[in-house]
Structure 1
């Protein structure tokens, strides 16, 4: 039995930790009714806070390493022939559709089903009552973007000047003449990111314990309000993904000109694998086979599938908008303007496309760190969402695999039958 339990994926263990911590917290006497119990819960909550801070510890080096090599990695992706350029246009077009649809959906959902005070208090408690960044006057805000002392900025509370410096540093690095110095610096930054990913994986291995120790004191103090808040967020995420799925099907049938029955039948095996593995990149061989069953050309598949597998996560901008609007509601911040929401959506596209070839789960916190810096909400809130992201991530992966086939169908409309890369070789890879 224990051997079977050890084979469970980390996502399942995190949910088990969440459930056990919540059950114990609900079973304990309510906060304030027993001093000894309160002291014990306070001691246990330190474990959860230590785990939370350990994850936060990795954000700065990871974000800097990723953003400073963004332009180097993007150069390789952007190179290619006419079909490759068509694939990039299709990918960006699907992203834009997802971002704009996300603006409409999030505004509508938050107006119809707002976050309640009880939900907000419980979510703030679970994230350690993180402090919201104050909004300085616009003149000071502009000056704060450019750090006079980058070392001091890295040790400060705001991540925004560090992000700005990382982008400038990355642009200069891309312009640097090829040579031993450039290769060494790029290798060092890449190694830094890889090393931090190892640390993140170590921290995530104890995530079930950390999550249990975060949820336990929260349920003891706030009861089931925390579940209402987390379920509220999950339902918003899943509804948006399902709407995007319907739109993707419509685009494939109308613009890609693939009959609905053929598309649904051919893509189902890839969707099933995506559901079980939660890896859109790992599902690529099955998705390629599905595209061939749809009758799509080998050239369109060869040019589009590798790019879509590493670049296209169509739900990312929509989810970025959701996280920002949710944080604003939880921390009672100034409501975001429509222009700001649209800007956050396109910011989500650019950041997602910069994380070329890196699994989304590994960069969850690093991905949302820039949004926390721009909007001003505590990064601790993102860690709380990481706990339950395993649930919407399943349906998101199914959507992403489906959208990869959609992008291929769009590219297929304008190509002549010509194979640049053998499909069999791609499947074997």
Structure 2
């Protein structure tokens, strides 16, 4: 029998989240390559290893998606209500939105610059799609009408005719509509005042329960990573990129420039340590990379923003959920800028200054269209339709979308933690002692209770960090 003492002597890397994710990435690539070598078609005739990896990856994503709606509803209502605890709440809110726009504008300018310099769509040799893109074509009218909830929960029902006797019906949530409904309820509760306290108490309790469930799901991230990466390797593979390789490389170059040049400059300009910022936000960035969902990573993003970066909880619980649905430097700034230029270059269409201004405007104002979900097809169609570019380009880029989406979402998450940190620093409410503290704990460590139990009362002590570090933070 293994004793508790022997478990505690295990090397830290065996139980730390970061090394587990890295190991899962490596194993995923190896198993994905092995699945591809075994033969078979991922769509029509998958082999047993393909099926296993696909089941693991899709099941993990399904778990994340299942928690999205209750998480958004409870988090947004609670976050808006928490503004009562923050002095100058209106000032913080508009400054947060202002910095969302500023960082998005910088990111889209980086994307435009790289797209013009690299010319990823020029001379690719890739064949144009035989058929026009048949998906939803984004437009400003569709986006604005999509804001109006069809029902309280933002439910959408779609039916697909499989054959003469079978009709498949699916129920989906419009995340953007859920956000609108939740924001309206939160503002109403804020205006009602003391009479809304019983309702808000229930919502806060529900949020705590939902977050606990989400923590359990997040702890499965290494297993989900293995399946998701393995699936991407055997289904898309590097060889399938062909002429799109330059596009993928350009997108990742833009993401890296924003993450490791623009963000550090902003952090240093506010008198903060770049190293502390990256070490604090890194666990959430890792989860965003593998899950491809800003909303799915939101609980961890909020936790590291509070406990590692020192942003006050009352403000972080407002800014991070808002950012998880509207702050998309990867999906809604760098990516659509480069993708629009790629499509124009691919079809030999010349763009002028007006087109570049439209790209920037769409990227800064239309980022809410991505709604924190995986993928940025809606944002891309919105950009292309606004510019009048062929929507065939959407179908052309879908083949490599899962590969670039991982990097896009990682940048989204980094930006969603960055803006609250910068605003808190500018307003003088950032806990610098916590921000500058050594990163000895773990973002998954249970939080210590607000009030410690008195000695001898028999009350339970604060739970210890399961990884061996003291449970601290906020």
Flag whether TM exceeds 0.5 (same fold): yes
Contact 2:78 2:186 in 1 (8 A): yes
- CA distance in 2 between counterparts of 1:317 and 1:113 reads 31
Residues 157-177 of structure 1 show CA distances to partners (whole Å, capped at 9, x for unaligned) of 533332222222222222224
The 5-angstrom pairing of residues 1-400 of structure 1 reads: 3-5=10-12, 8-27=15-34, 28-29=36-37, 31-32=39-40, 38-79=47-88, 94-113=99-118, 134-135=136-137, 143-151=145-153, 153=155, 155-179=171-195, 182-224=196-238, 234-245=252-263, 247-248=265-266, 251=269, 267=272, 270-278=273-281, 279-283=304-308, 306=312, 310=316, 320-324=328-332, 337-344=359-366, 368-369=372-373, 375=379
Match of 2:128 in 1: none
Residues 257-302 of structure 1 show CA distances to partners (whole Å, capped at 9, x for unaligned) of xxxxxx6xxx5xx5444444434543457xxxxxxxxxxxxxxxxx
- CA distance in 1 between counterparts of 2:277 and 2:209 reads 28
- CA distance in 2 between counterparts of 1:225 and 1:306 reads 47
How far did residue 142 of structure 1 move? 5.1
Change (3 A) 1:76 1:215: same
Let me know the Cα RMSD of the aligned residues: 5.4
- CA distance in 2 between counterparts of 1:53 and 1:234 reads 26
The 5-angstrom pairing of residues 408-427 of structure 1 reads: none
Contact 2:104 2:333 in 1 (8 A): no
Residues 177-197 of structure 1 show CA distances to partners (whole Å, capped at 9, x for unaligned) of 413xx1121122222222222
- CA distance in 2 between counterparts of 1:132 and 1:68 reads 36
How far did residue 71 of structure 1 move? 2.6
How far did residue 202 of structure 1 move? 1.2
Segments of 5+ residues of structure 1 without an aligned counterpart are 117-130, 253-262, 286-304, 349-364, 412-419
Contact 2:330 2:412 in 1 (8 A): no
- CA distance in 2 between counterparts of 1:249 and 1:272 reads 10
184-193 or 106-115: bigger deviation: 106-115
91-100 or 20-29: bigger deviation: 91-100
Change (3 A) 1:386 1:74: farther
- CA distance in 2 between counterparts of 1:110 and 1:153 reads 38
- CA distance in 1 between counterparts of 2:312 and 2:330 reads 28
- CA distance in 2 between counterparts of 1:312 and 1:91 reads 7
Q: What TM-score does the superposition give when structure 2 sets the normalisation length? A: 0.55
- CA distance in 1 between counterparts of 2:117 and 2:108 reads 14
- CA distance in 2 between counterparts of 1:369 and 1:78 reads 32
- CA distance in 2 between counterparts of 1:133 and 1:239 reads 31
Residues 95-150 of structure 1 show CA distances to partners (whole Å, capped at 9, x for unaligned) of 5532332231233334445778xxxxxxxxxxxxxx99624887676555433433
Contact 1:324 1:375 in 2 (8 A): yes
Segments of 5+ residues of structure 2 without an aligned counterpart are 1-6, 122-132, 157-170, 282-303, 345-354, 382-399, 438-472
- CA distance in 2 between counterparts of 1:371 and 1:159 reads 13
Residues 353-412 of structure 1 show CA distances to partners (whole Å, capped at 9, x for unaligned) of xxxxxxxxxxxx9x71499697389xxx9998896689769987997798479636xx7x
Q: Which has the higher helix share?
A: 1
